[in-house]
C-alpha cells in the first residue's frame, strides 16, 4: 500500500505541474521497482538484472512474404520503466512494437515465429483473446488519429466498446486520463467539442489519454512525436517521463536525443536485429558495440 | 544571335506552354455549362410563362366568321392549292402576295375554348383571311370544372333564373360576390362526397371482405358465417341510413347551387347557362391591370401545386403527382441506403479480395448500365406477380380475384427503383470506406475494439458523407425515372393518395401518380395535346425543382456530417 505513496512522491518531484492526488488510480499490478524517492539526484546506472520484467520477447522472427524483417529478437522489457527502440529507418522497430499488441495480425502476408510473454503469459498462444490483449496494451501512433467524435467520447472509447455506460465512471476516467496526458486543463471546458478541432500536439496527447483510459499494463508508442513541432514534442516527452511508474512504456523513436531524454533502457536495432540493449546512459555514453557507437554519434544511419 | 532566336521561338511555342490545352479544357467546360444552363433556361422560361393570363383577341375572317381566343402560336404554312384558287376570286391581292412568297402564308392558332359548343379547343386562322382584329374589353375567360375554359361574354348574372345585374360593372361585382360562396359550397360537396361517402364505401368494402374472410375460413354453412351475414346486414342498413342522409345534404347544397347561374354568350352569339359553382376562375382578360394579372398568375400556380388534376390532367393541379414522386423517392431511399451500405461493407471490409470479388464488382457496376425498362419488366414479373401474388394468396385471399399487392403499386415501384439505383450507392460507399484512413482503424483496434465495433463506431460515421453522396446520385436518378414506373405502379390518374385517414394510413399497395409520367401523359397521351403542351413545361419545371430540393436537403445533411466526422485534419 505504501508503494502507491512512493509513486506519488516520485511523481511530485518529476512533474513540473503537480497532478491532483485524487486523480491517481490504484494499479492492478503495481510495479515493484520504483525509483526511490531520495534518488532524484543522479541514480546509479540501472541494470536489467534488478528489474521485474513485464514483457519478454523470445526468439522472435517475422517475415513479410518471403523477406525476413525480424531476426531472432530476444528482449526483456522492464516493468514501470521507459524502454526506447532506436535504429535507422526500416530496421524493424515499428514492426516489433506492433507485434506486441498483435496489430500485425491484420496484415495477411505476415508470418511469425517465436513468442512473446506478457507477465509470463504467451501473447501468441492459441487461446489468447486478442481483444483482451489489446486492452492491456495501449498504443499511440506516429500519425495522430483521434476519432471523429467529441473529446469526451474519444477518451472513453475503450470503455464504450466494453459497454460501460455509467456516467460517473466515465466522467472519472475522462478526468483521470486527460490529467495523466496533461491535457485536462486545456480541454476541461470543451469536452463535448469535436476532437478534430484540437491542435496536432493536443491531438497526440488526446491519443495518449485514450491509450491510458483503459488502464493498460504496457503503453506502446510508435514515434509519437515525429509529426509534432518542438514545443508539442517537449510536452509529450515530459508526459512520457511522468508516465513511468504507472505504465511500462515502449517507445520507438528516430530521435536519439529523445531516447536519451525519456528512456531508462534503450535497444539499438539494425536490419531486423537487436545490436545492443542496455541502460540508456550506457548506450549513449559507453556502448559496447562499434555499430551502436557509430549510430548514436551520428556517423552512420 | 542564335541563342536569341532560340529564346524567341521558345517563348512563342504555344504547345510547349500548354496554352491550347487550357483553351480546350476550358472550352469543354463552357460547352457543358451552356448546355445545362440553356436547358434550364428553356424550361424556366416556358414553364413560368404558362400561367400568365393572355389577352383575348377577337378575329373576324373574310368568310364572315368570328373567333375569340388566346393566341397560342403563329406559324408559316403552305397554303393548299384549292384554298389558293378560292382566294383568287375573293381577294386577288392576298393571293398574289402568297404566290410571290412561293405559296407560303402565316396562320395563328387560337385557343377558343368552348369545347361543349365547338367540339374542339383550338382553331387555326389564316392571317390572309383576317379582316378585323380587336381586343374586346368585356371578353371573359372562364375556367370551368368541366369542358375546359369558356371564352366569351357574360350576358346576365342570374339568381333563380332572373337577371340581377345589368351593367358590366354591376355584373362583375355581383359575380365576384356570388362566386366565393358558390365555390365554398362546391368544396363542401366535394368534401362530403370524398370523405364522408368515401368512409361509408370503405366500411361497406371492409364488411364485404370480412364476410368473405369468414366464408373462406369456416365455409358457408357454418355458424360464424351466418352470424357475420346477419351482422353485416344490420351494419349495412345503418350505413344506408347514414348514406341517404348525406345524399340529402348533398342534394340540398346542389339545389342551392343551381339557383346561381351565368348566362354566357360566345362570340358567334350562341348562349349557354353555366352554374357559378362550377367556375374555377374567371377574369375579364383584356381589362386586367398588371396587379390583377399577377393575382391570376399566382392563383393558377397555387391551384397547380395544391389541387387535383381535372380535364384529363391538362388543367388543375398536380398535388397527387408531387406527393407520389416524393413518397416514392423517400421509400426508395429508405430501402436503397441500408441495402447498398450493407453490400458495400461486405465487399470492402469482410470479403476476401480476389478474382470472385472482382467479378462481383464488375457485375455490380454493369448493373448500373442496364436499361431501366429492363428493371421495370423485372419488377413487374418478380415483385408484382411473384412476391405480390404470393402475399395476396396468403394474407388477402378474401380480396381475390382483385389483386392487392399482386399488381403495380408504390412499394413495388420503389423497390424496382431501389434495385436500379443500388449500384450507385454500393460504388460510392465502397469508395468512401476505402478512403477512411487506416490509422483510424488501427487506433480503434489498438483500443481493443472488434472489427464490427470499429466499423460501426469509426469507419461508418467517417464514411457517411460518401454514402450520402451516393444516395444523392441515386435519388436524382430514381426521382427522374419514368420507364420502369409505368409498368410497376404509376397511373395517369390515381383515385386516392397512398396516404389517407383509413388504417393502416400508408397504403404501399396503391398505385400512385408521378410527375415524370404526368409530363408524358399530359403532353403526348391526352385527348387535347395542344392544351397540355404548356403544362408539360410547367410540370417539367416542377419536377426539376422537386429533385433539386430533395438533393439540396441531402447535400445539407451530408455537409453537416462532413463537418462532424471528417473535419479539418491539422
Task: Answer with the one of B121, B153, B185 that is the final residue of a domain.
Answer: B153
Residues 6+ apart with CB under 8 A from B465: B432, B558, B559, B561, B562, B565, B566
Q: What is the CA radius of gyration of chain B?
A: 32
pLDDT at A143 over 90: no
Is residue A92 left, alpha or beta, with left meaning phi > 0 and alpha meaning psi from -120 to 50? left
Q: Which one-letter DSSP state was computed for residue A89?
A: T
Average pLDDT over residues B428-448: 89
Under an 8 A CB cutoff, do A131 and B446 touch? no
Best B351, B443, B451 member to test A by mutation, with max A CBs in 10 Å, is B443
Q: Give A197's contacts in chain B (Cβ within 8 Å).
A: 567-568
User: Which residue has cell 534518488?
Assistant: A39
Best B354, B437, B440, B447 member to test A by mutation, with max A CBs in 10 Å, is B447
Q: How far is A64 from chain B (nearest CA, A)?
A: 18
Residues B456 and B367 in one domain: yes
Residues B166 and B146 in one domain: no
Task: Answer with the one of B221, B243, B258 that is the final residue of a domain.
Answer: B258
Average pLDDT over residues A213-225: 88
Q: How far is A232 from chain B (nearest CA, A)?
A: 14
CB-CB neighbours of B203 under 10 Å: 16
Grid coordinates given for B2: 542564335
CB B428, CB B466: distance < 8 Å: yes
Residues B68-110 have pLDDT tens digits of 998 888 888 888 888 888 888 877 888 888 888 888 888 898 8
Average pLDDT over residues B376-402: 85
CB B104, CB B78: distance < 8 Å: yes
pLDDT of A18 reads: 38
CB-CB neighbours of B327 under 10 Å: 20
Residues B458 and B362 in one domain: yes
pLDDT of A16 reads: 38
Q: Could you tell me which residues are beta bridge partners of residue A112?
A: A62
CB burial string B257-278: b at 16+ within 10 A, e below: beebbbbbebbeeeebebbbbb
Residues B364 and B454 in one domain: yes
Residue boundaries of the structural domains of chain A: 78-100+131-296
User: Would B365 be classed as within a structural domain?
Assistant: yes
Q: Give B564's contacts in chain A (Cβ within 8 Å).
A: 148, 194
Lowest mean pLDDT among B240-244, B401-405, B554-558: B401-405
Closest chain B residue to the Cα of A200, Cα to Cα? B570
pLDDT of A246 reads: 82
Under an 8 A CB cutoff, do B446 and A103 touch? yes
What is the percent of chain B with per-residue pLDDT over 90, rounded to a whole number?
16
pLDDT at B34 over 90: yes
Q: Write the ipTM.
A: 0.81
pLDDT at B416 over 90: yes
Residues B210-236 have pLDDT tens digits of 888 888 887 777 887 788 888 888 888
Number of domains in chain B: 3
CB A239, CB A270: distance < 8 Å: no
Residues B195 and B136 in one domain: no
Is residue A138 left, alpha or beta, with left meaning phi > 0 and alpha meaning psi from -120 to 50? beta
Task: Answer with the one of B239, B258, B277 that is the final residue of a domain.
Answer: B258
pLDDT at B415 over 90: yes
Q: Give B444's contacts in chain A (Cβ within 8 Å).
A: 147, 157
Lowest mean pLDDT among A207-211, A276-280, B95-99: B95-99
pLDDT at B238 over 60: yes
CB A150, CB A197: distance < 8 Å: no
Q: Give B461's contacts in chain A (Cβ within 8 Å).
A: 148-149
Q: What is the mean pLDDT of chain B?
A: 85
Residues B242 and B176 in one domain: yes
**Crossing angle of helices B319-345 and B515-524, rounded to 10°:** 130
Under an 8 A CB cutoff, do B446 and A132 touch? no
Residues B242 and B186 in one domain: yes
Average pLDDT over residues B378-400: 85
Residues A46-88 have pLDDT tens digits of 777 777 888 888 899 999 888 888 989 898 898 888 999 998 8
| Count of pairs with CB atoms under 8 A, one residue in A, one in B | 78
Residues B128-162 have pLDDT tens digits of 888 888 888 888 888 888 888 898 888 888 888 88
Under an 8 A CB cutoff, do A145 and B448 touch? no
Residues A91-139 have pLDDT tens digits of 888 899 999 888 888 888 888 888 888 888 888 888 888 888 888 888 9
pLDDT at B33 over 50: yes
User: Would B522 be classed as within a structural domain?
Assistant: no
pLDDT of A14 reads: 40
Chain B contact for A138 (CB, 8 A cutoff): yes
User: Would B294 be classed as within a structural domain?
Assistant: no
Chain B contact for A228 (CB, 8 A cutoff): no
User: What is the pairing mode between strands A273-279 and B57-61?
Assistant: unpaired
User: What is the pairing mode between strands B260-265 and B150-159?
Assistant: antiparallel
Under an 8 A CB cutoff, do A147 and B440 touch? yes
Residues B336 and B410 in one domain: yes
Residues B149 and B186 in one domain: no
User: Would B452 be classed as within a structural domain?
Assistant: yes
Q: What is the mean pLDDT of chain A?
A: 80
Q: Give B447's contacts in chain A (Cβ within 8 Å).
A: 134-135, 138, 157-158, 161, 210-211, 214
pLDDT of B268 reads: 83
pLDDT of A12 reads: 41
What is the percent of chain A with per-residue pLDDT over 90, rounded to a whole number?
9
pLDDT at A174 over 60: yes
Q: Give B456's contacts in chain A (Cβ within 8 Å).
A: none
Chain B contact for A39 (CB, 8 A cutoff): no
Chain B contact for A194 (CB, 8 A cutoff): yes
pLDDT of A5 reads: 45
Q: Give B565's contacts in chain A (Cβ within 8 Å).
A: 148
Residues B332 and B472 in one domain: yes
Q: CA B132, CA B45: separation in Å to the nearest integer?
A: 31
What secondary structure does DSSP assign to B280-338, as a single string?
EEEE-GGG--HHHHHHHHHHHHHHHHHS-EETTTTEE--HHHHHHHHHHHHHHHHHHHH
pLDDT of B345 reads: 92
Residues A247-256 have pLDDT tens digits of 889 999 888 8
Grid coordinates given for B178: 356570388
pLDDT at B518 over 60: yes
pLDDT at B165 over 60: yes
CB B326, CB B318: distance < 8 Å: no
pLDDT of A251 reads: 92
Q: Give A194's contacts in chain B (Cβ within 8 Å).
A: 564, 567
Residues B551-565 have pLDDT tens digits of 888 888 888 888 777
Which domain range does residue B191 map to? 162-258
pLDDT at B38 over 90: yes
Residues B52-65 have pLDDT tens digits of 898 888 988 888 88
Residues B441 and B541 in one domain: yes
Q: CA B225, CA A54: separation in Å to the nearest integer?
A: 82
Chosen CATH of A78-100+131-296 out of 3.40.50.11260, 3.40.50.880, 3.40.50.300, 3.30.420.40: 3.40.50.300
Lowest mean pLDDT among B42-46, B309-313, B423-427, B461-465: B309-313
pLDDT of B178 reads: 87
User: Would B15 be classed as within a structural domain?
Assistant: no
pLDDT at B30 over 80: yes
Closest chain B residue to the Cα of A194, Cα to Cα? B564
Residues B439-497 have pLDDT tens digits of 888 899 988 888 899 998 889 888 888 888 888 888 888 888 889 998 888 888 877 77
- pLDDT band at A2, cuts 50/70/90? very low
Under an 8 A CB cutoff, do B448 and A131 touch? yes
User: Would B311 be classed as within a structural domain?
Assistant: no
Q: Give B569's contacts in chain A (Cβ within 8 Å).
A: 196
Q: CA A122, CA A56: separation in Å to the nearest integer?
A: 9
Peptide bond into B504 cis (omega under 30): yes
User: Which residue has cell 498504443?
Assistant: A139
User: Which residue has cell 428493371?
Assistant: B375
SS3 at position B480? coil
pLDDT at B17 over 90: no
Query: Closest partner residue to A196 among B442, B444, B568, by Cβ?
Result: B568
Residues B102 and B178 in one domain: no
Q: Give B566's contacts in chain A (Cβ within 8 Å).
A: 148, 196
Under an 8 A CB cutoff, do A145 and B442 touch? yes
User: Would B468 be classed as within a structural domain?
Assistant: yes
Q: How far is A129 from chain B (nearest CA, A)?
A: 10
- pLDDT band at B570, cuts 50/70/90? very low
Query: Closest partner residue to A143 among B439, B446, B565, by Cβ?
Result: B439
Under an 8 A CB cutoff, do B564 and A143 touch? no
Peptide bond into B400 cis (omega under 30): no
User: What is the pairing mode between strands B140-144 and B279-283?
Assistant: antiparallel
Q: CA A164, CA B305: separation in Å to the nearest integer?
A: 52
Amino acid at each position: 500500500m505504501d508503494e502507491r505513496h512512493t509513486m506519488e512522491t516520485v511523481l511530485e518531484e518529476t512533474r513540473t505541474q503537480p497532478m491532483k492526488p485524487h486523480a491517481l488510480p490504484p494499479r492492478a499490478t503495481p510495479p515493484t521497482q520504483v525509483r526511490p524517492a531520495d534518488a532524484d539526484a543522479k541514480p546509479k546506472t540501472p541494470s536489467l538484472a534488478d528489474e521485474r520484467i513485464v514483457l519478454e520477447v523470445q526468439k522472435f522472427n517475422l517475415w513479410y512474404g518471403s523477406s525476413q524483417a525480424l531476426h531472432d529478437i530476444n528482449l526483456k522489457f522492464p516493468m514501470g520503466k521507459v524502454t526506447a527502440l532506436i535504429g535507422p529507418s526500416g530496421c524493424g522497430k515499428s514492426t516489433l512494437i506492433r507485434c506486441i499488441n498483435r496489430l500485425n495480425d491484420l496484415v495477411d502476408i505476415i508470418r511469425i515465429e517465436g513468442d512473446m510473454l506478457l507477465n509470463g503469459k504467451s501473447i501468441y498462444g492459441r487461446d489468447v483473446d486478442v481483444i483482451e490483449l489489446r486492452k492491456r496494451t495501449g498504443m499511440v501512433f506516429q500519425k495522430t488519429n483521434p476519432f471523429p467524435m467529441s473529446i469526451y467520447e474519444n477518451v472513453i472509447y475503450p470503455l464504450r466498446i466494453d459497454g460501460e455506460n455509467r456516467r460517473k465512471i466515465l466522467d472519472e476516467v475522462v478526468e483521470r486520463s486527460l490529467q495523466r496526458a496533461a491535457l485536462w486543463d486545456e480541454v476541461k471546458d470543451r469536452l463535448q467539442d469535436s476532437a478534430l478541432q484540437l491542435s496536432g500536439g493536443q491531438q497526440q496527447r488526446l491519443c495518449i489519454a485514450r491509450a491510458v483510459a483503459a488502464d493498460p499494463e504496457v503503453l506502446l508508442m510508435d514515434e509519437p512525436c515525429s509529426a509534432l513541432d518542438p514545443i508539442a514534442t517537449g510536452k509529450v516527452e515530459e508526459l512520457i517521463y511522468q508516465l513511468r511508474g504507472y505504465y511500462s512504456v515502449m517507445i520507438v523513436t528516430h530521435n536519439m536525443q529523445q531516447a536519451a531524454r525519456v528512456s531508462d533502457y534503450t535497444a539499438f536495432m539494425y536490419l531486423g536485429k537487436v545490436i545492443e540493449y542496455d541502460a540508456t546512459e550506457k548506450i549513449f555514453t559507453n556502448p559496447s558495440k562499434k555499430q551502436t557507437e557509430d549510430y548514436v554519434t551520428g556517423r552512420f544511419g | 544571335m542564335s541563342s536569341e532566336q532560340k529564346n524567341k521561338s521558345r517563348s512563342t511555342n504555344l504547345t510547349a506552354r500548354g496554352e491550347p490545352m487550357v483553351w480546350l479544357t476550358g472550352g469543354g467546360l463552357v460547352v457543358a455549362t451552356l448546355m445545362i444552363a440553356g436547358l434550364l433556361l428553356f424550361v424556366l422560361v416556358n414553364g413560368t410563362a404558362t400561367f400568365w393570363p393572355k389577352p383575348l383577341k377577337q378575329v373576324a375572317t373574310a368568310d364572315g366568321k368570328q373567333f375569340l381566343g388566346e393566341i397560342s402560336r403563329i406559324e408559316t404554312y403552305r397554303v393548299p392549292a384549292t384554298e389558293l384558287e378560292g382566294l383568287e376570286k375573293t381577294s386577288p391581292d392576298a393571293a398574289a402576295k402568297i404566290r410571290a412568297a412561293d405559296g407560303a402564308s402565316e396562320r395563328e392558332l387560337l385557343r377558343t375554348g368552348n369545347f361543349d359548343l365547338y367540339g374542339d379547343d383550338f382553331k387555326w386562322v389564316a392571317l390572309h383571311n383576317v379582316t378585323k382584329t380587336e381586343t374586346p374589353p368585356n371578353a371573359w375567360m372562364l375556367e370551368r370544372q368541366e369542358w375546359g375554359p369558356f371564352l366569351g361574354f357574360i350576358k346576365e348574372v342570374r339568381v333563380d333564373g332572373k337577371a340581377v345585374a345589368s351593367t358590366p360593372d354591376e355584373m362583375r361585382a355581383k359575380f365576384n360576390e356570388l362566386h366565393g360562396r358558390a365555390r365554398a359550397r362546391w368544396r363542401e360537396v366535394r368534401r362530403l362526397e370524398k370523405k364522408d361517402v368515401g368512409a361509408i364505401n370503405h366500411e361497406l368494402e371492409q364488411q364485404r371482405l370480412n364476410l368473405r374472410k369468414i366464408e373462406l375460413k369456416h365455409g358457408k354453412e357454418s355458424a360464424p358465417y351466418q352470424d357475420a351475414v346477419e351482422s353485416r346486414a344490420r351494419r349495412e342498413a345503418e350505413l344506408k341510413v347514414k348514406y341517404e342522409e348525406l345524399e340529402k345534404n348533398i342534394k340540398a347544397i346542389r339545389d342551392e347551387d343551381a339557383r346561381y347561374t351565368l348566362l354566357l354568350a360566345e362570340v358567334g352569339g350562341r348562349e349557354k347557362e353555366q352554374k357559378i359553382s362550377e367556375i374555377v376562375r374567371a377574369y375579364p382578360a383584356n381589362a386586367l391591370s398588371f396587379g390583377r394579372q399577377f393575382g391570376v398568375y399566382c392563383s393558377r400556380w397555387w391551384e397547380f401545386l395544391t389541387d387535383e388534376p381535372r380535364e384529363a390532367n391538362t388543367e388543375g393541379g398536380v398535388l397527387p403527382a408531387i406527393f407520389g414522386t416524393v413518397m416514392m423517392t423517400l421509400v426508395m431511399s429508405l430501402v436503397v441506403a441500408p441495402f447498398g451500405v450493407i453490400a458495400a461493407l461486405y465487399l470492402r471490409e469482410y470479403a476476401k479480395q480476389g478474382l470472385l470479388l472482382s467479378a462481383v464488382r464488375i457485375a455490380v457496376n454493369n448493373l448500373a448500365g442496364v436499361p431501366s425498362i429492363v428493371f421495370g419488366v423485372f419488377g413487374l414479373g418478380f415483385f408484382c406477380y411473384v412476391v405480390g401474388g404470393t402475399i395476396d394468396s396468403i394474407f388477402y385471399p378474401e380480396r381475390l380475384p382483385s389483386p392487392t399487392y399482386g399488381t403495380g403499386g408504390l412499394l413495388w415501384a420503389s423497390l424496382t427503383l431501389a434495385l436500379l439505383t443500388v449500384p450507385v450507392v454500393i460504388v460510392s460507399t465502397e469508395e468512401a470506406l476505402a478512403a477512411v484512413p487506416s490509422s483510424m482503424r488501427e487506433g480503434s483496434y489498438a483500443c481493443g475494439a472488434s472489427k464490427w465495433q470499429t466499423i460501426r463506431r469509426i469507419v461508418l460515421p467517417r464514411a457517411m458523407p460518401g454514402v450520402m453522396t451516393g444516395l444523392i446520385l441515386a435519388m436524382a436518378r430514381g426521382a427522374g425515372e419514368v420507364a420502369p414506373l409505368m409498368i410497376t405502379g404509376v397511373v395517369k390518374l390515381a383515385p386516392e393518395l397512398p396516404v389517407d385517414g383509413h388504417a393502416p394510413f400508408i397504403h404501399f399497395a396503391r398505385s400512385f401518380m408521378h410527375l415524370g409520367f404526368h409530363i408524358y401523359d399530359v403532353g403526348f397521351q391526352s385527348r387535347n395535346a395542344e392544351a397540355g403542351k404548356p403544362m408539360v413545361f410547367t410540370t417539367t419545371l416542377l419536377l426539376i425543382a422537386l429533385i433539386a430540393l430533395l438533393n439540396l436537403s441531402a447535400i445539407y445533411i451530408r455537409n453537416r456530417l462532413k463537418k462532424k466526422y471528417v473535419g479539418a485534419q491539422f
